[in-house]
Structure 1
Amino acid sequence: MGTFKIEGGHQLSGEITPQGAKNEALQILCAVLLTPEEVTITNIPDIIDINKLIALLKDLGVKIEKKGKGSYTFKADNVNLDYLQSDDFKRDGRGLRGSIMLVGPLLARFGKGYIPKPGGDKIGRRRLDTHFEGFIKLGAKFRYNKEEYFYGVEAETLKGTYMLLDEASVTGTANIVMAAVLAEGETTIYNAACEPYLQQLCKMLNRMGAKISGVGSNLLKIEGVKELGGTEHRMLPDMIEIGSWIGLAAMTKSELTIKDVSWDDLGQIPSVFRKLGIQLERKGDDIYIPEHKDGYEIQNYIDGSILTVADAPWPGMTPDLLSIILVMVTQARGEVVIHQKMFESRLFFVDKLLDMGAKIILCDPHRATVIGHDFKSTLKATTMTSPDIRAGVSLLIAALSAKGTSTIHNIEQIDRGYENIDERLRAIGAKIERV
């Protein structure tokens, strides 16, 4: 188990460039299975979860060639479907949440898709019903082996249909879209997720020859085609990493420039940070954050009541940033309620922040009230363990602002989502060592 040692209390400065988007990459990489032709993808993040998925594709028989940093070609012209029933697949597929999105493309192109119950973050229940209900509506037969926790769908032919999703699941929508592009007839998906990463997937599929309309809305229409061709695609920057660096700059009172952020795809993120008192300037496609010498003050609502920051489907606030925001407001001026609606275990890392001296009331598994210190007292260094990707980075940000030397264990969780994070932070002045 890896460990970070962090000497906190130092100001940072300089520029940092966000990696390619992890959550987009999980969808885009699975989509290469929809065509026997070559697909080139660039700005792929070099992180554990994505490298696991690339390894899974390789084991499936996809020809993969690395062209440079973050640049790969994929050619799925000789897919080994027998691998899907192997013990190796049942073991390797279980270790990656994103492996569920292999099912849609495999079902569409080969008439069958299987997956072991996926793992990933321990942040609460993450249902797969939306995925499989969508496949069933397209005409697939579903089976589940309870002893092996192994899911399967099979269909001789998928047929387009109308469906109203029970939740605007991003991965569920992506999976159903990838299945529907090769189905016979027209598929209509209402209450579809419309995140920028899903828009990216739809645009890529359209370049491959798919006929998807309504991209960017919650009503998608897909006219099935017989086959798809090759294409080139570049990942967006990772909006969760961008939000992480905003929180880091605020907590350490640092002057930072976050490069090439694709402002138009950030949605509510800049406005939410501004409500929390953070000054953000748009400079071209960069975010400039000045040194917050006098701290930052949380806005109240117009009637004077306490601000609530809650997650919601796009274009609402992404749930992945609430952990970072919770840490950041421990040093704000004022109070705020953090309402994590989607995952009931994601706020349980606050006990580590309480050990560091933060003022947080955990109201229930979904809500926490934070009373900011306004930098009148600093967080104190401690030893902690990273429970999931976002909580791990939140604790890292807390440690970089704290007085003394902190230790974070289980940093593999952080490496699952952040590329070479220690090297990149050292480049802007952080005192962080990988042990």
Structure 2
Amino acid sequence: MASFIIEGGHKLHGDIYPQGAKNEVLQIICASLLTSEEITVHNIPDILDVNNLIQLIRRIGVKVEKKGVDTYSFKAENVDLEYLASDDFLKKCSSLRGSVMLIGPLVTRFGRAVISKPGGDKIGRRRLDTHLLGIQKLGAKFEYNDADGMCELTASKLKGCYMLLDEASVTGTANIVMAATLAEGITTIYNAACEPYLQQLCKMLNRMGAKISGIASNLLTIEGVDKLKGTEHTVLPDMIEVGSFIGMAAMTGSEITIKNVSYENLGIIPDSFKRLGIELEQIGDDIFVPAQDGYEIDTFIDGSIMTIADAPWPGLTPDLLSVMLVIATQAKGSVLIHQKMFESRLFFVDKLIDMGAQIILCDPHRAVVNGHNKQIQLRGGNMTSPDIRAGIALLIAAMSAKGVSRIHNIEQIDRGYQNIEDRLNAIGARITRI
């Protein structure tokens, strides 16, 4: 198990570039199974979750070529359907949550998908019902083996229908959209997710010959086609990494420029950081964060305590609440962080409390943070990363703390952040991997 040793208290300065968006790439790679022609994808991040999915589809029989530093091509011409039922395939699926998005492409193109309960972050229950019920409504037959957690879906030909999703699941919507592209007839999905990464997937599928309308809304209409073709696609910059860099600058009192952020796709994120008192300036497609001696949390119009909560897009992404919670520990004022969409994701705050933060954990979903107004510096600590987003939040805390910190289980951070210590060290951080 690898660890980070962080020497806190160092300011950052300079330019930093966000990597390609993890959540988009996982969808795009799975979509390559929808056609026998070549799909070329640019701006793919070199991170654990993405690399594991690439290795998995290689084993399925997809021809994968690395054509540049961050460019790959995928050609699913000769897929090994027998491997899909092997113990090796099921084992690999169980350690990678993104593998669930293989279901839609496999069922709609090959008539069968087998998958085990996927792994990923330990942040409470993350149901697959939306995925499975949606594809069943398209006509797939579903069987579940409780003994080994194996799911199997089969269909001779999927047929379009109307469906109202029980939740606006991003991966669930992606799975159903991919399945519907080759289904017979018209599929209408209401309460669909509309995140920028889902929009990117739909736009790529349309370039492949799909007929999807309503993109960027929660009502998608997909007219099934007989066949999809190859295309070229460029992945958006990762909005979660952009937010993480904003948090690092604020906590360390640093001046940095985050380059090429695709500002128009950040939605409410910049304004959410401004509510915490952080100054931001859009310069072209960059974000400039000036050095601030302090920042003050806003209040509601009536003067009551600010609440920051996650919500489906265009609301605030839940992946940034951990970062915002850490930022609030050094702000002037108080804030209620309400993590509505996932349970247990706030349990990492006990590590912050050990570092000197003033946080009241109300329940698995809510925490009240009383900011120090940078009058009391956090102290270095010894901690373990429970998931990707908590890991980066703990790293931000350690970078601002007095003394040396150690973060264990940084493989969780590696799942979502590419060469993070090298990139941060290049602009002034002191982080060592051991």
TM-score (norm 2): 1.00
| Structure-2 separation of matches of 1:97 and 1:63 | 22
- In the alignment, which residue of structure 2 is the partner of 1:89? 89
The SS at the match of 1:81 is coil
1:340 aligned partner, one-letter code: Q
Alignment partner, residue 222 of structure 2: 222
- What is residue 346 of structure 2 aligned with on the other side? 347
Structure 1: how far apart are the matches of 2:69 and 2:22? 15
Q: Give the partner amino acid of 2:406.
A: T
CA offset digits 1:93-141 (Å, max 9, x no partner): 1110000000100011001111110000000100000001001100000
Shift of 1:285: 0.1
SS at structure 2 position matched to 1:331: coil
Q: Is residue 4 from structure 1 mapped to residue 1 from structure 2 by the alignment?
A: no
Instruction: Find out whether 1:37 has 2:37 as its counterpart.
Output: yes
- What's the offset of the Cα at 1:212? 0.1
In structure 2, give the amino acid aligned to 1:415: D
Q: Is 1:368 the counterpart of 2:367 in the alignment?
A: yes
* SS state at 1:418 partner: coil
The separation in 1 between residues aligned to 2:286 and 2:414, in whole angstroms, is 25
Query: Alpha-carbon deviations, 1:294-345, whole Å to 9, x = none?
Result: x000010000000000000000000000000000110000000000001111
Deviations 1:171-192 (A, max 9, x none): 0000000000000000000000
CA distance in 1, matches of 2:18, 2:394: 19
Deviations 1:238-285 (A, max 9, x none): 000000000000000000000000000000100000111000000010
Q: Which residue of 2 aligns with 1:25?
A: 25
* Aligned partner of residue 215 in structure 1, secondary structure: coil
Superposed CA deviations along residues 33-77 of structure 1, whole A, max 9, x for unmatched, are 000000000100100000000001100000010011110011000
Task: Give 1:152 deviation, angstroms.
Answer: 1.0
Residue 192 of structure 1 is matched in structure 2 by: 192
Aligned residues: 434
Q: Structure 1 counterpart of 2:314, which letter?
A: P
Trace 1:70-149 onto structure 2 (pairs within 5 A).
70-149=70-149
Q: Which amino acid aligns with 2:430?
A: K
Q: Distance in 2 between matches of 1:178 and 1:130?
A: 14
Q: 1:336 aligns to what? A: 335
Letter in 2 for 1:98: G
For 2:133 and 2:155, locate their aligned partners in 1 and report how far apart those are by CA, in whole Å: 14
In structure 2, C-alpha distance between the alignment counterparts of 1:52 and 1:157, rounded to whole Å: 30
**In 2: Cα distance, 1:37 partner to 1:317 partner:** 37
Match of 2:240 in 1: 240
Write the distance in 1 (CA, Å) between the matches of 2:215 and 2:129: 23
Alignment partners' CA distance in 2, 1:332 and 1:113:
49
Q: CA offsets, 1:223-252, max 9 Å, x none?
A: 000000000000000000000000000000
Mapping for residues 355-434 of structure 1, pairs under 5 Å: 355-434=354-433
SS at match of 1:68: coil
Q: What letter is aligned with 2:286?
A: D
2:166 aligned partner: 166
Is 1:151 matched up with 2:132?
no
| Distance (Å, rounded) in 2 between the aligned partners of 1:37 and 1:78 | 11
Q: Distance in 1 between matches of 2:253 and 2:84?
A: 50
Q: CA deviation at 1:90?
A: 1.1
Instruction: Provide the residue aligned with 1:211 in structure 2.
Output: 211
Q: What letter is aligned with 1:303?
A: D
Kindly indicate whether residue 284 of structure 2 is the aligned counterpart of residue 284 of structure 1.
yes
Q: 1:171-182 to 2 correspondence within 5 Å?
A: 171-182=171-182
Q: Distance in 1 between matches of 2:46 and 2:151?
A: 29
1:51 is aligned to 51
Q: Does 1:304 align with 2:306?
A: no
Instruction: Provide the C-alpha distance between the structure 2 equivalents of 1:210 and 1:20, rounded to a whole number of angstroms.
Output: 24
User: Take 1:250 and 1:174, find their aligned partners in 2: how far apart are those partners?
Assistant: 34
SS in structure 2 of the partner of residue 27 of structure 1: helix
Q: Which amino acid aligns with 1:337?
A: L
Alpha-carbon distance in 1 for matches of 2:348, 2:411 = 16
> What does residue 252 of structure 1 align with?
252
Unaligned runs of 5+ in 2: none
CA distance in 2, matches of 1:276, 1:351: 22
Q: Which residue of 2 aligns with 1:314?
A: 313
Structure 1: which amino acid aligns with 2:200?
A: Q
Q: CA RMSD in A?
A: 0.4
Distance 1:61 1:88 in 2: 14
Which digits, 9 at most, give the CA deviation of each residue in 1:140-186, with x for residues without a partner?
Answer: 00001111110110000100000000000000000000000000000
Distance in 2 (alpha carbons) for counterparts of 1:113 and 1:178: 13
- In structure 2, distance between residues paired with 1:77 and 1:428: 44
TM-score (norm 1): 0.99
The residue identity in structure 2 corresponding to 1:69 is V
Q: Which amino acid aligns with 1:2?
A: A
